Amino acid sequence: MTEVQYVAPGTLDEAVRVFASASGAARILAGGTDLLVQMRSGAISPGLIVDIKKIAEMTAIEEGADGSFRIGAAVSGAALREHAKLKAVWPGVVEAANLIGSTQIQGRASAGGNLCNASPAGDSVPAMVAAAATVTVQGPNGRRQLAVEKVPAGPGRTTLAKGEIVVSFTLPPRPKGSGDAYLRMIPRTEMDIAVVGCGVSLTLDKGTCTAARVGLGAVAPTVLLVEDAAKALIGSKLDAAALDKAANACRAACKPIDDKRGTIAYRTQIAGVLLKRAATIAAERAGRS
Partner 1 sequence: MNAPVSERSDNKWIGQRTVRPDGAEKVTGRAAYAADTTMPGMIWGKVLRSPHPHARIRSIDTSKAEKLPGVKAVMTAKDIVDFPIDKSVMLGIQDMRWMCRNVMAREKALFAGHPVAAVAAMSEKIAAEACKLIEVDYEVLPWVIDVEEAMKPDAPILHDFIKFEGKPSNIAGKLEHKLGDVEKGFAEADVVIERSFRTKPVHQGYIEPHACLVSVSDGKATVWSSSQGQFMVRAMSAYLTGLPQNDIRAIPAEIGGGFGGKTIIYLEPLALILSRKSGRPVKMTMTREEVFRASGPTSGSYSKVKIGAKKDGTIVAAQGTFCLQAGALPGSPIRGAAGCAFSPYDIQNVHAVGYDVVSNRSKVAAYRAPGAPLGAYAAECVLDEVAEALKMDPLQFRLKNAAKQGTKVAYGPVFPRIGYIETVEGAINHAHYKTPLPKAKNGMLYGRGVASGYWFNAGGESSAQVNVNEDGTVVVITGHPDIGGSRASTANIVAELLGIDYRKVAVLIGDTSVIGFSNLTGGSRVTYASAMVATQSTEQVIKTLKERAAKIWKIDPDAVSWENGEARPAGDNAGKFEPLTLAQLAAQANATGGPIGAGKQLNTTGAEGGFATHLCDVEVDPELGIARVIRYTAFQDVGRAIHPGYVEGQIQGGAAQGIGWALSEEYIYDKNGKLDNPGFLDYRMPVTSDLPMLDSVIIEVPNPKHPQGVRGVGEVPIVPPLAAVSNAVYNALGTRFYSLPMSPPKVLEALEAKSKA
Partner 2 sequence: MAKVHVSTTINGEPHEFLCDAEQSLLDVLRGPLGLTGSKEGCASGDCGACSVTVDGRLVCSCLVLAPEAEGKSIGTIEGMATTDRLHPLQQKFLEMAALQCGICTPGVLMAAKSLLDRNPDPTEHEVRFWLAGNLCRCTGYDKIVRAVMETAKDMREAVR
Q: To the nearest whole angstrom, how small is the minimum distance from the Cβ of residue 99 to partner 1? A: 12
Q: Does 49 bind partner 2 (CB under 8 A)?
A: yes
User: Which residues touch 129 (CB under 8 Å, ≥6 apart)?
Assistant: 148, 149, 199, 213, 215, 223, 224, 225
Q: To the nearest whole angstrom, how small is the minimum distance from the Cβ of residue 282 to partner 1? A: 18
User: Which residues touch 82 (CB under 8 Å, ≥6 apart)?
Assistant: none
Q: Which of residues 80-109 bind partner 2 (CB under 8 A)?
A: 101-105, 107-108
Q: Does 269 bind partner 1 (CB under 8 A)?
A: yes
Distance of CA 98 to the CA centre of its chain: 11
Figure out which of the listed residues 191, 241, 252, 265 binds partner 2, where binding follows CB under 8 A. 191
Closest CA to 147 of 170, 167, 179, 177: 170
Closest CA to 105 of 8, 14, 19, 35: 35
Q: To the nearest whole angstrom, how small is the minimum distance from the Cβ of residue 44 to partner 1? A: 16
Nearer to partner 1, 115 or 270 (CB): 270
Secondary structure class of 248 (helix, strand, coil) = helix
Tell me which stretch binds partner 2 (CB under 8 A): 2-10, 117-125, 135-143, 238-246.
Answer: 2-10
Distance of CA 224 to the CA centre of its chain: 11
> Letter for the amino acid at 74?
A
Figure out which of the listed residues 36, 153, 252, 265 binds partner 2, where binding follows CB under 8 A. 36
Q: To the nearest whole angstrom, how small is the minimum distance from the Cβ of residue 91 to partner 1? A: 20
Report, in angstroms and rounded to the nearest whole number, the Rg of the chain calculated over CA atoms: 19
Figure out which of the listed residues 14, 18, 51, 132 binds partner 2, where binding follows CB under 8 A. 51
Q: Does 108 bind partner 1 (CB under 8 A)?
A: no
Closest CA to 112 of 67, 174, 60: 60
CA 209/CA 245 separation, integer angstroms: 14
CA 157/CA 59 separation, integer angstroms: 24
Q: Does 270 bind partner 1 (CB under 8 A)?
A: yes
Q: Does 23 bind partner 2 (CB under 8 A)?
A: no
Query: Of these partners, partner 2, partner 1, none, which one is at the site of residue 260 (CB under 5 to 8 Å by kind)?
Result: partner 1
Q: To the nearest whole angstrom, how small is the minimum distance from the Cβ of residue 158 to partner 2? A: 21
Figure out which of the listed residues 11, 21, 24, 37 binds partner 2, where binding follows CB under 8 A. 37
Judge contact between 52 and 58, C-beta under 8 A: yes
DSSP state of 11: S
11 dihedral zone (left: phi>0; alpha: psi -120 to 50; beta): beta
DSSP 3-state percent helix, strand, coil across the chain (nearest 5): 35, 25, 35
Nearer to partner 2, 74 or 238 (CB): 74
Query: Of these partners, partner 2, partner 1, none, which one is at the site of residue 185 (CB under 5 to 8 Å by kind)?
Result: partner 1
> How many residues of this chain interact with partner 2, rule: CB under 8 A?
29
Could you list the residues that contact partner 2 (CB under 8 A)? 3-6, 8, 29, 31-33, 36-37, 39-41, 49, 51, 53, 76, 78, 101-105, 107-108, 189-191
Could you list the residues that contact partner 1 (CB under 8 A)? 1, 41, 185, 187-193, 195, 260-263, 265-266, 269-270, 273
